[in-house]
Amino acid sequence: MGKDVIIACDFNSAEETFAFLDKFTGKKPFVKIGMELFYAEGPQIVREIKKRGHKIFLDLKLHDIPNTVMKAMKVLSSLDIDMVNIHAAGTIAMMEAALTGLTREDGTRPLLIAVTQLTSTSEDRMQSELLINSSLEKTVMHYAENAKNAGLDGVVCSPMESEAVHNVCGKDFVTVTPGIRFADSAKDDQIRITTPAKAKEIGSDYIVVGRPITQADDPVKAYERCVEEFVG
């Protein structure tokens, strides 16, 4: 069963973000803060959203030398976020360093997940532009295994890869899957996509949903529909 729906708050200002979140007068949804909003508003946007009672997935996809990532994660951990991510392509050493930096003195930490391949990346592009000669599926599984070996909690992956990741890394290894659209939504710029109901069937643990909710005529209704289809 799906654990939760995460709304991608891909806005460019605090004002726009809070205008959207103010629509949710009941249940406070789990939200994702990405690069655009974090770079526009800084760490304060995280603190303000936490005050409102939301869980936060901070989607910054860190990818740098291990020492830099470790220090950055120590800062991000102090923001009381619930989930954060890095690129698995940064190597096991970088992922281990991220985990070290993220862990607080009392031993607690947010969930740490790794990006395998972005949902906008097709196998053809991966092979021709990134010069990765393996299949997309084999590459994703290898990155997932590396993340598990580094001690991470899970990976961001396409919904279509979620079942395979669980088969390779175990059922407790979390899969967070973007590329979610309702059956009657446009595909936009993401290639490897599926519906909330199908993601649940495949075994995704969390789904990340942006435009089908944020650009809906009634975002709360769209969110509730998504929760109904994915969590039940």
Map the chain to HEC letters.
CCCEEEEECCCCCHHHHHHHHCCCCCCCCEEEECHHHHHHHCCHHHHHHHHCCCCEEEEEEECCCHHHHHHHHHHHHCCCCCEEEEEHHHCHHHHHHHHHHHCCCCCCCCEEEEECCCCCCCHHHHHHHCCCCCCHHHHHHHHHHHHHHCCCCEEECCHHHHHHHHHHHCCCCEEEECCECCCCCCCCCCCCCECHHHHHHHCCCEEEECHHHHCCCCHHHHHHHHHHHHCC
Give buried/exposed letters for 180-203 (b at 16+ CB in 10 A, else e). Answer: bbbeebeeeebebbbbbbbbbebb
Active site residue 61: yes
Of the listed 3, 50, 61, 74, which one is catalytic?
A: 61
Residues designated catalytic: 61
